[in-house]
Amino acid sequence: MSNDLAPHLDLAACVDHLRDLIRIPSVNPPEGGPDLAAGRDPRGAETAAARYCAGVLGDAGIAAEVIEITPGRGSCFARLRAGGPATEPPLILLSHLDVVPVEAGAWSRDPFGAEMIDGVVWGRGAVDMKDMVAMELGIMLALRKLGADLRRDVIFAAVADEEAGGTHGAQALVGAHPDLFADASGRFAAAALNEVGGYSVTLGANRYYTIQVAEKGIAWTRLRVSGTPGHGSMPHRDNAALKLAAAIGALDADQAARPARVHPVVAGFLEAIGLDEVARTAAIDPAAAAAALERLVPDPVLRRSIDAMLRDTVTPTVLRAGSKVNVLAGTGEAELDIRTLPGTDQAALLAHLAGVTGEAATVETVVTLPAVEWPADAEIVSHMRTALKAADPDGVPVPMMITPGTDAKALATLGIPCYGFAPLRLEPDFPFLSLFHGHDERVPVSALAFGLPVLADVVARYAVR
């Protein structure tokens, strides 16, 4: 039996599924209400998206279940089973159903309208990551149509709550239902395919395809200060707003002075894409490295991404102090998005930050998740390289580390390698990286037309006899 899935792939249906999923306002946190979802009610929307996936799979004869660790926060699981006496551990097609909030007034289009404009699908989740959900649905359907003779189970897992660390999604599921990620013999999956990697980056005349083999750790942290409230017309220095501003200023200065550390995966990535000068100088001459990055990388978002690969980052993202213009603030609070390189001692970094902010502030972690890294020479990575070269002989596949975090951290607790590979061929001027959590999120259908068969090729090579 042929293992060629291409004749069984349906691009039009894949695009329809993406648009249908975008129309479901699965904003995280759902309790944030319509203000975070362009006037829609996001409560229960993750379950609605999970049920949509289960319905698509069920209509094709693939049994699927919706699991709610928390009511309204549903995840969808389905499985195509391997046949024959000699099977191998499963492959997981992993994705998440939740999306981040929107500021509707800043969008050019309805964030949940899923409009198709000149061959581009617009809407929250178009790149993060309902495009991957739609492609993985398409591959499950193609495997079913082919009647593929599988040498390993293929598990579809579209989960809730990735954007907030997976407490109601992957983290909880691996703890409560580890069997979902294993075969009938209890063997956990040999690999999972996940978001972020696989997209093309053009530098000069060269096109590169990123294969995610590592990601930074997370330490979401809350900083608090207190002061003495009073009338705003009689100012004093024990003002929580001033203390909060001082603490944030100290953190900013500390970040600006933070030394670079070039992880081997990052060094290889930079050398492969022609930025070996940055790799050589980052740790010993930061100014020279910054100048080289400015000179060689025109895209400012890509420059920021590369710079964040070179060091731990501490970023204030939410600030709160005071409740009324004529009242001195008695308390202040900041939320910090901290991302750590593999090998960083997160506890030591947090202790350092407590010293930076001084006795006037307390530093308390809310969510800590480790960095993860997987072998770049694994069998499934070789299949990614082969599939990409077959689809684009001029493209160069390169392993990389991403700066965000994903549900790979949850699967890592089961020992499951999780590779980022959502392949998309993008035009050089398409602002892909800026669309993650940004305004006017969108994806070209041409990118899906490239990515769907490439992803299917990898799955077929790895899972079909």
> For the domain that residue 111 is a member of, what is the CATH number?
3.40.630.10
- Give yes or no for residue 1 having a pLDDT over 60: no
pLDDT over 70 percentage in the chain: 100
Nearest Cα residue to 445 out of 425, 460, 431: 425
In a domain, 253, yes or no: yes
Residues 306, 308, 311, 314, Cα dihedral to 10°: 170
- Is 209 among the domain residues? no
Maximum pairwise Cα distance, the chain: 83
- Top-confidence residue, 381 or 204: 381
| Owning domain of residue 345 | 214-369
In this prediction, residue 184 has a pLDDT band, given cuts at 50, 70 and 90, of very high
Same domain, 365 and 440: no
Question: Considering the domain boundaries, does residue 10 fall inside one?
Answer: yes
In this structure, the answer to whether residues 299 and 322 fall within a common structural domain is yes
Mean pLDDT over 278-296 rounds to 96
Same domain membership, residue 303 and residue 189? no
Does residue 246 share a domain with residue 179? no
Mark whether 220 and 113 lie in a shared domain.
no
Asked if 350 and 365 count as a contact pair (C-beta separation under 8 A), the reply is yes
Question: Both 12 and 100 in a single domain?
Answer: yes
Do 60 and 163 fall within a single domain?
yes
Per-residue pLDDT tens for 369-406?
999 999 999 999 999 999 999 999 999 999 999 999 99
Question: What's the average model confidence in pLDDT over 118-127?
Answer: 98
Domain contains 331: yes
Write down the mean pLDDT value for the chain: 96
- DSSP category for residue 370: -
Say if residue 436 is exposed, middle or buried (CB neighbours under 10 Å; 0-12, 13-18, 19+): middle
Report pLDDT digits (tens) over 318-348. 999 999 999 999 999 999 999 999 999 999 9
Does the residue 398 lie in any domain? no
Residues 247-270: tens digit of each pLDDT = 999 999 999 999 999 999 999 999
Residue 118 in any domain: the answer is yes
Confidence of residue 85 (pLDDT cuts 50, 70, 90): confident
Structurally, how many domains does the chain consist of?
A: 2
Mean pLDDT of 198-218: 96
Mean pLDDT to the nearest integer, 1-30: 94
Residue 399 belongs to a domain? no
| Same domain flag for 172 and 287 | no
Give the Cα separation of 300 and 223 in Å (integer). Answer: 29
> Residue 208: inside a domain, yes or no?
no
Q: What is the pLDDT of residue 2?
A: 64
CATH label of the domain that carries residue 226: 3.30.70.360
Same domain, 42 and 169: yes
Do 254 and 332 have their domain in common? yes
Question: Is the domain of 195 the same as that of 323?
Answer: no
Q: In this model, does residue 153 exceed pLDDT 90?
A: yes
Same domain, 257 and 277: yes
